[in-house]
Structure 1
Amino acid sequence: MVGTIKRWIVGRPLKTKEDLQVRIGVLKGMAVMTPDALSSVAYATDQMEGILAGLLVATSTHAYVTNVLGFSMLGTSIIVGLAFLLFLAYRNIIRRYPLGGGAYAIGINDLGKYWGLSAASTLIVGYTLTVAVSVAAGVDAIAPVIPFIAHHKLLFNIILTLLIMIVNLRGTGESASVFVPFTYVFIGCIILIGVAAVIKGLLHPSAIELPTYAGMHAVQGMGMFLFLKMFANGCSALTGIEAVSNSVPVFREPSVKRAQRLLLTLVITLSLLFFIVSSVAMVHGLRYNPEVPLINQESMLIFGTHGIGYVVTVIISISTMCILTIAANTAFTGCPALWSSMARDGFMPRWVLHKGTRLVYSNGIVFLTFISLLLTICFDAKVDRLMPLYGVSVFYTFTISQLGMVVRVLKERKNKWLLSAIGSATGVVLTGGACLIFGITRFQDGAWLVCICVPAMILVFSRIQKHYMQLRQDLKYDLTRPMQPRKESITIVPIASVNKSSVNALEYAVANFRNVIAVTVIADDSEEKCRQRTDKIEGDWEKLNSGVRLIVLHSQYRAVGKRLQRFIEFELQTYPPENITVVIPQFITKRWWHKLLHNKTASILMAWLVINKHIKVMTVPYHLER
């Protein structure tokens, strides 16, 4: 039943050799790994203009507004340049670490363990927040149109997150097929805005206002700190670029070349869309409005709010909502792949290392869903409460990747190493500055949580690795010592009575072990009843004629489990733990609720033996027919 439901939800199991068939190319990679980065275009310019809004008043002239917005265009240009610096860094990371890992891999290998773990921790924070923030932003975008959703936002956040999880559990190829239309429609919509804006500008040049150097210099109140704060906010357009480097193995061969092509395609597309949104807003003097995003303002200005123009505006709004929602898909691809890389190094549990029935890291996908839903519920699906945690974590990972490249280039000193070092060092300054500004300006809004979570996660990862290293040392066998069969041993079969379940276990023990004894504990309310039960079981035992010695124990305190434990401890005085085997008979009820009607003596005894002793324990099941 469970298997049928699972097959219906996630699809048929795939063979290992089918792995090559479910890998993706650049076309589908754009739908799987880029929505997070592309969706940031929908709010990055808004984030910059939100900082500049304080420089504008209601009576500001159109020319003055354009000059103020010229700074957002300057910030856009710098951010686009930084995007290409990140491309150069992550292109080399993809080439050097084809198994994925991104900033974590370069941190571990080129900077040291704790640098790598700190990058991994911030990446994990960023990925989990990507899911929570993206879904919440998507629900917020559609909520004003559908009142029912507006009244049940948290519920729809949970439902959407679970739906995206199920799509990803079906495999990378299928999730790409589902999200391809939404991704390319959004790209087409922004390009359409750009083309229409150019045409409108050529037809009505008087409506276009361009900033001038003198005009920007005359803007009152514009200082370096305000510009840096605006730049840091605008850097949110770069979120998600690192996802490609974390998931190189999901591409078809040559996977490294395909991943690098996708990264270049992403950076070019992201830069183009970012320029379009920022430049259209600047030349038309569109101001920041927390209620109406700039993309909506631009579409209404260019296409109008009536007739066919209104239809186009609605399509652009819906495509924006969709790309914001499916941005979560980037995390479902990147984060489980990152965890797998960490598990390979011993920093994460082994159960996130291997792929599931659909050749995806299904355990990691489910675990990411659980954490993201926890965040969504704790923060009541409020985007503004989640965003402060987001920026610091993203830019810290960028800084680590750039710093790692500086260290590697200085070590290797290959062709044009000085130019590469200068470029990466510039990236360190820009991304590190953005991270610092985000941390300072948004510290009280929640960024302080990252300062607590990251060291705590580093500690947990280090303890996990220490456990695995200790486990490997404890289990290592000295191959110079030949294996010798143990001679003096004893096998104990605890029984409650002579029944089918206990005889089944006894037959197994006699067939596979030497020196088998059966032990039963008599506990009742009076000595008379104890004597009657003793006579009964001894009589049944004699009729069984098993040739096995039966030891009858009495418990004055009516504690069967404790009495068995004391007996085993007594035997430990004669035999070493490794020479004692306990075979426990256990009957399996047909219906689940039947289990509630029976005591758990066998389970308690087994748990005690497994946790406290080195004794070998096994159960012999007997299935009841009704």
Structure 2
Amino acid sequence: MAGGAVIMPKLDAEQSGLLRRVGEEWGRVSAPPEAWRRVLPVDPDVGSYPEPGQIVPARFGRVVSVPTLSGGPTTAEAGGGGGAEAATAAEWERPGGLALRLRRTLLGAPLANTAIVRERMRKLVALPVLSADALSSVAYGPEALLLVLVLAGTPGLNASVPVALAIVFLMLAVGLSYRQTIRAYPLGGGSYIVATDNLGRIPGLVAAAGLMTDYILTVAVSVSSGMAAVTSAIPSLSPEIVPIGVLVIAVLLAGNLRGVRQAGALFAAPTYAFIVAILLLVATGLYNAAGRDFTPTPHPVVNATEGLGVLLVMKAFASGATAMTGIEAISNAVPAFKPVAWRNARTTLSWMIVLLVVLFAGVITLIHYEGIVPETQETALSQLAHRSYGSNGFYVFTQAATALVLLLAANTAYNDFPRVLFLLARDDHAPRIFLRLGDRLAFSNGIIVLSVAAALVYIAFEGKTASLIPLYAVGVFLAFTLSQWGMVVHWWRKRDRHWRKSLCFNATGAVLSAAVFITAGITKFTAGAWLAILAVGAFLLVTTRIHRHYARVRQALRLHPQMIEIPGHSITPHQRPDAGSGRSSASRGPVPPGPAAPAEADPTASAGRERDAETEDTPEEIRHLSVVPIDALHQASMRALAYAASLQQPVLALHVSPGEEEAEVFRDAWRLWGDRLPLAVVVSPYRAIVAPMIGYIESLHRQRPDLTITVILPEIVVRHWYHRILHSYLGGRLRRSLRPLPKIVVTTVPFHV
């Protein structure tokens, strides 16, 4: 499997020609394919998984029960097939393991790939899931604006309304811009995709860096703001905000690992409750203001520490613009919508922009009329609720809804951060472990990385929102800027219907986003923006080095003419006496080409082999079968096949494919090579590769318990230890999984790069 590092590609003309020549050279020095099939002591056809259309969902159309190979327990029961790459043989066989039961209790039963359609979101669920970040920022965006303007005293606070109007205009411009992005990229058009397609690889990576920095800070800021809302109502919890916040991140981790639909159902109610709470608060506040003829309540006297200049106003604008974070989430998650995905995504984005403008403008208007000044012990939203409701149930409802939506707004990041990592891994800019879907059709590895990074940031800044805000605007508006400029280039190149209108929308969004980014980078540099800029630079360095490493590995694995050499002797598989009866396979007469019948037809002989397991004392008693798992025909796998054939024992190549299309690509390459050795192809309906591989080897062992099965793995050996995380090494995982079975040997054939 080359360490699981290489995905099966279609061969180009040069590689096809070289593979054909390699097969011809094999034909000169090796026995014909029929000879290798005749000596095969097992039947390689041990059954198959059902076709996707035959998979019948169980409870409520969610959990799919699929039988394993050779009639074993169902994967949904045993937990072996639902993407559980590290599943042990015991788990594969016994559904009652404590760890497995705990995993299923917390995360639920595994889902098949065919369940991905049923896991897509309708608009009413997508709105709270993907808009929670943007809408919840209403709770801290206006306050972030005030915290800057208050430095200029009363004149600064009076400037809050015109600055807020500029932010509203920016919301509308960027929102309309992303509607054009969804139209141009109906399969999902986040900043990384748009910038890469239209501006190049490096701008795309910079956009991805900005996005990922933003998503990590989204979790940290949402949790810290949520804790601020809680402590405004319950001040006694203030000393415990760090441990409580970390616990909340852990709950978010578990909730998102359960999959898309569970997360949507979990987060829909708090988001809608927050929308209702703010609308009620705005309506009540405006009603009270109307009772005094909309005369603003005077601000308390505030001493100015800075003059109200252009720099301060721009700094306030950049801080208040943090209320726009999360606007891109919908365009980045178009595939998560139910069909027609792009149309539903545009509709949901329009709803989100309208709600965001109404809530933001409403809160700023109330702050103006109520004369609210930021306080360290109580948030501005809590002060507004106190002014409108006192401390009754409506106040409690407002604070509870605000706290919940802020704590759960991080779900937007949990939906998009793993997707960006997936795209980076697909393009060889991130480790390929981020390509895997987990049991619940979620990118589990990306979700875990996000949780750990956000928890570390939250702890480092002691859960203080004011300290995190300066880092926030840099990443998100860097991504906005590159995405919108990418769309400008897209429309200029394409020039289809209405391209001028779309270009103007995106150009306006690009200019405004660039202005906010530059302003935030300059005015907030010493306050923490330098850290976000440093993180972007470090990300760019790491991803380019990862891409360089994968390119070097691909080049090393390519077939080349120098490897085509004619060995000095012919390779012919040996035929060993059968363990059950003592007869040689040759004495049973000729065997037609193709899969051999299992040699354990005699039940007495089979029972004898079971009793005599692992009792061989001399070399001639050992009967071999070499199984070579391979993912593609490249130099590492050809070396492993050559090594297995050189032992002159029966050989069976094994390819586990995630889909029939990929399996057919491999079969075409195998036939081009000349079909020199017996081949078994297993198409798994799950994401897992390792677990179906284990199940297949166990099926062979059940056929012939007397055989010593040697699993020969091609393994990429890298020069530096830090490159190991870029490759999935199967040898150790297979040894641990197959250890309960007797007479299974796992060995690797190293390929150094």
TM-score by length of 1: 0.73
Contact (CA 8 Å) 1:119, 1:396: kept in 2 or not? yes
Residue 141 of structure 1, aligned match among 229, 238, 262: 229
Q: Could you tell me how far apart the structure 1 residues matched to 2:283 and 2:347 are?
A: 26
Counterpart position of 2:339: 253
Residue 181 of structure 2, aligned match among 85, 93, 100: 93
Tell whether 2:130 aligns with 1:42. Answer: no
Counterpart position of 1:372: 454
Counterpart position of 1:382: 464
Contact (CA 8 Å) 1:32, 1:172: kept in 2 or not? no
Residue 170 of structure 2, aligned match among 76, 79, 82: 82
Tell whether 2:486 aligns with 1:404. Answer: yes
Contact (CA 8 Å) 1:207, 1:284: kept in 2 or not? no
Q: Could you tell me how far apart the structure 2 residues matched to 1:171 and 1:612 are?
A: 35
Contact (CA 8 Å) 1:245, 1:259: kept in 2 or not? yes
Sequence identity, in percent?
Answer: 32
Counterpart position of 2:507: 425
Shift of residue 339, structure 1, vs aligned partner: 1.3
Counterpart position of 1:591: none
Counterpart position of 2:153: 56
Q: How many residues align?
A: 507
Residue 9 of structure 1, aligned match among 103, 106, 112: 106
Pair 1:208–1:486, CA change in 2 (3 A): farther
Give CA-to-partner distance per residue, 1:111-134, whole Å, 9 cap, x none: 111111000011111111111221
Counterpart position of 1:155: 243
Contact (CA 8 Å) 1:100, 1:341: kept in 2 or not? no
Counterpart position of 1:301: 387
SS where residue 40 of structure 1 aligns? helix
Pair 1:255–1:239, CA change in 2 (3 A): same
Contact (CA 8 Å) 1:131, 1:372: kept in 2 or not? yes
Pair 1:448–1:479, CA change in 2 (3 A): same
Q: Could you tell me how far apart the structure 1 residues matched to 2:132 and 2:316 are?
A: 23
Pair 1:256–1:194, CA change in 2 (3 A): same
Instruction: Give 1:271's aligned amino acid.
Output: V
Instruction: Give 1:458's aligned amino acid.
Output: L
Contact (CA 8 Å) 1:99, 1:341: kept in 2 or not? no
Larger Rg over CA atoms: 1
Q: Name the stretch that deviates more: 156-165 or 424-433.
A: 424-433
Pair 1:4–1:76, CA change in 2 (3 A): same
Tell whether 2:379 aligns with 1:284. Answer: no
Shift of residue 73, structure 1, vs aligned partner: 1.8
Instruction: Give 2:619's aligned amino acid.
Output: S
Which residues of structure 1 form unaligned runs of 5+?
A: 58-64, 212-219, 492-505, 513-542, 550-575, 584-605
**Superposition pairs for residues 307-346 of structure 1, below 5 Å?**
310-346=392-428
SS where residue 13 of structure 1 aligns? coil
Shift of residue 151, structure 1, vs aligned partner: 3.3
Counterpart position of 1:195: 283
Q: Could you tell me how far apart the structure 2 residues matched to 1:388 and 1:164 are?
A: 24
SS where residue 159 of structure 2 aligns? helix
**Superposition pairs for residues 586-605 of structure 1, below 5 Å?**
none
Counterpart position of 1:553: none
Contact (CA 8 Å) 1:101, 1:337: kept in 2 or not? no
Pair 1:299–1:140, CA change in 2 (3 A): closer
Counterpart position of 2:557: 475
SS where residue 22 of structure 1 aligns? coil
SS where residue 118 of structure 2 aligns? helix
Instruction: Give 2:134's aligned amino acid.
Output: A
Shift of residue 419, structure 1, vs aligned partner: 4.0
Counterpart position of 1:363: 445
Pair 1:201–1:381, CA change in 2 (3 A): closer
Counterpart position of 1:452: 534
Instruction: Give 2:446's aligned amino acid.
Output: G
Q: Could you tell me how far apart the structure 1 residues matched to 2:265 and 2:568 are?
A: 59
Q: Could you tell me how far apart the structure 2 residues matched to 1:433 and 1:77 are?
A: 16
Give CA-to-partner distance per residue, 1:180-210, whole Å, 9 cap, x none: 1110111011111222223223333164479
Instruction: Give 2:376's aligned amino acid.
Output: P
Instruction: Give 1:325's aligned amino acid.
Output: L
Q: Could you tell me how far apart the structure 1 residues matched to 2:280 and 2:229 are?
A: 21
Pair 1:177–1:112, CA change in 2 (3 A): same
Contact (CA 8 Å) 1:149, 1:156: kept in 2 or not? no
Shift of residue 373, structure 1, vs aligned partner: 2.0
Which residues of structure 2 form unaligned runs of 5+?
A: 1-96, 300-305, 574-578, 586-615, 623-641, 650-711, 720-729, 744-753
Q: Could you tell me how far apart the structure 2 residues matched to 1:97 and 1:480 are?
A: 44
User: Where is the helix percentage greater, Structure 1 or Structure 2?
Assistant: 1
Pair 1:480–1:55, CA change in 2 (3 A): closer
Contact (CA 8 Å) 1:244, 1:334: kept in 2 or not? no
Pair 1:97–1:480, CA change in 2 (3 A): farther
Shift of residue 315, structure 1, vs aligned partner: 1.4
Give CA-to-partner distance per residue, 1:509-528, whole Å, 9 cap, x none: xx99xxxxxxxxxxxxxxxx
Give CA-to-partner distance per residue, 1:199-245, whole Å, 9 cap, x none: 2233331644799xxxxxxxx94332222222111111101111112
Counterpart position of 1:546: 619
Tell whether 2:204 aligns with 1:116. Answer: yes
Q: Which has the higher contact order (CA 8 A, sep 6+)?
A: 2
Contact (CA 8 Å) 1:123, 1:393: kept in 2 or not? yes
Pair 1:101–1:336, CA change in 2 (3 A): farther
Q: Name the stretch that deviates more: 482-491 or 224-233.
A: 482-491
Residue 227 of structure 1, aligned match among 308, 313, 318: 313
Pair 1:282–1:623, CA change in 2 (3 A): same
Q: Could you tell me how far apart the structure 2 residues matched to 1:202 and 1:547 are?
A: 99
Q: Could you tell me how far apart the structure 2 residues matched to 1:17 and 1:132 are?
A: 34
Tell whether 2:326 aligns with 1:240. Answer: yes
Q: Could you tell me how far apart the structure 2 residues matched to 1:20 and 1:210 are?
A: 56
Q: Name the stretch that deviates more: 250-259 or 446-455.
A: 446-455
Contact (CA 8 Å) 1:134, 1:328: kept in 2 or not? yes
Contact (CA 8 Å) 1:488, 1:579: kept in 2 or not? no
Give CA-to-partner distance per residue, 1:251-304, whole Å, 9 cap, x none: 111111111111111111000000100111112332233332222222222223
Q: Could you tell me how far apart the structure 1 residues matched to 2:280 and 2:233 are?
A: 24
Contact (CA 8 Å) 2:180, 2:502: kept in 1 or not? no
Shift of residue 381, structure 1, vs aligned partner: 3.0
Counterpart position of 1:166: 254
Tell whether 2:373 aligns with 1:275. Answer: no
Shift of residue 582, structure 1, vs aligned partner: 13
Pair 1:223–1:376, CA change in 2 (3 A): closer
Counterpart position of 2:25: none
RMSD over aligned Cα atoms: 3.7
Contact (CA 8 Å) 1:388, 1:446: kept in 2 or not? yes
Tell whether 2:496 aligns with 1:443. Answer: no
Counterpart position of 2:191: 103
Instruction: Give 1:381's aligned amino acid.
Output: G
Counterpart position of 1:395: 477
SS where residue 338 of structure 2 aligns? coil
Shift of residue 345, structure 1, vs aligned partner: 1.9
Instruction: Give 1:40's aligned amino acid.
Output: S
Give CA-to-partner distance per residue, 1:374-400, whole Å, 9 cap, x none: 223333333333222211111111111
